[in-house]
């Protein structure tokens, strides 16, 4: 009897076309699931008959309580080599092997700039007006050249965002709790003396930090109040780094010029979520990692992981 493999959150219906799954067809039946499964009960019911599960990023948590309800599960594959929502100890205790895949930082860098440019030049508003027969011009764009780009985080992704900002002629500064003067000099940016200094002095602020106890709610109401009323906030990192209620209040009150957001406290967003209707917000449905190259890597290496597992020699094991 063939093993069964569920591929979660195949929203676009492209998972089976992004890799050659035929190489495991004799041993594994692959079933893409296009609808998101929300909640542990729905997951436990839907995945009860699967031996292998492929999940994207950290969208679907796999706590010990869920793993315990999936007695057939033997292999769990997550895209990326870091995942904070899988209970690895529970997986090991239940005999579940967990593997990851490579993941490029290029797509989130590019999306960060898509959001920033879209906000700065009113792209969505102007395009919608043009198509609907509205006013010929209704916005005045914010200039990038000469403005200050402030980066919360200067790691692999933040460093590349900084390089693009420099190419636009922006003045770029960065801050994080671990940022050294040497790293800032390496990238060619200024090291802000504090988070508060960076927020108060920037025309655009972009978040590029990992989520942890020190970064959760790092940007809340007091921090947003420091920003210029003409400044924009971009978050393509993790929703919980920016207090969602505080951001919504700042947008509704016009305390900042706008925000570009790709990550949310609940994903997918419920139809009545206030983020769907917030003013001054350019939002995308967590597209940061969604690109053809990344998907080819995710699903191609998922197939390799399954092959290796079936051969008794798992690769890219997590954590």
Query: Vertex 254, ends 276 and 172: CA angle to 5°?
Result: 95
Assess contact for 3 and 29: CB atoms under 8 A. yes
Catalytic residue among 160, 191, 208, 238: 238
Of 4, 60, 56, 13, give the one whose Cα is nearest residue 32: 13
Structure tokens at 302: 């998922």
Catalytic residue among 267, 273, 276, 280: 267
Residue 137 backbone phi and psi in degrees, to 5: -140, 140
Question: Any bridge partners for residue 174, and if so which?
Answer: 151, 191
Of 241, 148, 242, give the one whose Cα is nearest residue 198: 148
Active site residue 286: yes
Active site residue 267: yes
Catalytic residue among 286, 292, 304, 317: 286
Q: How far apart are CA 145 and CA 127, in angstroms?
A: 23
Assess contact for 160 and 110: CB atoms under 8 A. no
Residues 6+ apart with CB under 8 A from 140: none
Active site residue 280: no
Q: How many C-beta atoms surround the C-beta of residue 13 within 10 A?
A: 9
Assess contact for 24 and 303: CB atoms under 8 A. yes
Which residues does the annotation mark as catalytic? Answer: 238, 267, 286
């Amino acid at each position: 009897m063939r093993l069964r493999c569920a591929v979660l959150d195949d929203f676009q219906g492209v998972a089976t076309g992004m890799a050659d799954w035929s190489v495991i067809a004799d041993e594994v039946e692959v079933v893409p699931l296009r609808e998101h499964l929300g909640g542990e009960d729905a997951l436990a019911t839907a995945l009860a008959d699967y031996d292998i599960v492929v999940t994207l990023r950290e969208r679907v948590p796999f706590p010990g309580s869920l793993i315990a309800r999936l007695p057939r599960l033997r292999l769990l594959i997550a895209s990326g080599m870091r995942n904070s929502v899988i209970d690895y100890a529970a997986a090991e205790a239940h005999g579940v092997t967990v593997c990851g895949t490579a993941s490029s930082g290029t797509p989130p860098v590019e999306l960060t700039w898509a959001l920033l440019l879209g906000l700065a030049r009113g792209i969505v508003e102007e395009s919608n007006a043009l198509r609907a027969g509205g006013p010929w011009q209704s916005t005045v764009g914010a200039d990038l050249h000469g403005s200050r780009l402030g980066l919360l985080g200067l790691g692999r992704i933040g460093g590349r965002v900084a390089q693009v900002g420099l190419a636009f002629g922006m003045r770029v500064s960065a801050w994080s709790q671990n940022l050294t003067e040497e790293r800032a000099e390496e990238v060619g940016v200024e090291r802000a003396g504090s988070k508060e200094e960076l927020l108060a002095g920037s025309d655009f602020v972009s978040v590029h930090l990992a989520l942890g106890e020190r970064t959760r709610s790092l940007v809340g109401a007091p921090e947003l109040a420091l920003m210029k009323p003409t400044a924009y906030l971009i978050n393509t990192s993790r929703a919980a780094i920016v207090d969602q209620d505080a951001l919504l209040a700042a947008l509704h009150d016009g305390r900042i010029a706008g925000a570009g957001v790709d990550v949310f406290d609940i994903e997918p967003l419920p139809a009545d979520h206030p983020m769907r209707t917030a003013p001054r917000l350019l939002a995308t449905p967590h597209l940061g990692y969604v690109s053809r190259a990344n998907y080819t890597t995710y699903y191609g290496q998922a197939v390799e992981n399954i092959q290796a597992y079936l051969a008794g020699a798992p690769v890219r094991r997590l954590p």
